[in-house]
């Protein structure tokens, strides 16, 4: 059962992903609210809400006269990246468990990629 996320949360997720993946680097100035609104085809208030929430998380900082910047807190960025990776890993393992794949089978799947070709799954 998948719920539809509010647009500002989707935009937050995109910007967060760009920060933790290194697309947006520490201390890098991000696009203006107006530019982001045009890019995502949304109301500037939606962008503002997303950016305020990212500031509250500590991923962005404001300079009143010069715009918004990615945090220089590399430890925070690394921590969020690891939390996101853990979440993806847990979902991956859960999906495999639903398929009935046990951890030892998972190791074999990665260790023997040709097995999936032989079995016709690749």
Helix (H) / strand (E) element for 69: namely strand 67-70
For the residues 84-101, what does the mean pLDDT come to? 90
What gap in Å lies between CA 33 and CA 51, rounded to an integer?
Answer: 9
Count of Cβ atoms closer than 10 Å to residue 99 Cβ: 7
What share of the chain in percent tops pLDDT 70?
Answer: 89
What pLDDT shows up at residue 32?
95
What gap in Å lies between CA 118 and CA 103, rounded to an integer?
Answer: 21
* Cβ neighbours of residue 43 closer than 8 Å, sequence gap 6 or more: 37
* Single pTM value for the model: 0.77
């Amino acid at each position: 059962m998948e719920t539809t996320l509010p647009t500002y949360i989707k935009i937050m997720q995109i910007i967060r992903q760009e920060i933790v993946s290194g697309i947006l680097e520490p201390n890098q100035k991000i696009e203006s609210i107006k530019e982001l609104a045009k890019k995502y085809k949304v109301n500037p208030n939606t962008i503002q809400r997303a950016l305020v929430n990212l500031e509250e998380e500590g991923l962005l900082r404001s300079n009143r006269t010069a715009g918004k910047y990615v945090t220089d807190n590399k430890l925070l960025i690394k921590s969020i990246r690891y939390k996101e990776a853990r979440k993806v890993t847990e979902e991956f393992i859960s999906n495999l468990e639903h398929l009935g794949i046990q951890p030892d089978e998972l190791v074999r799947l990665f260790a023997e990629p040709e097995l999936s070709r032989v079995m016709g799954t690749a």
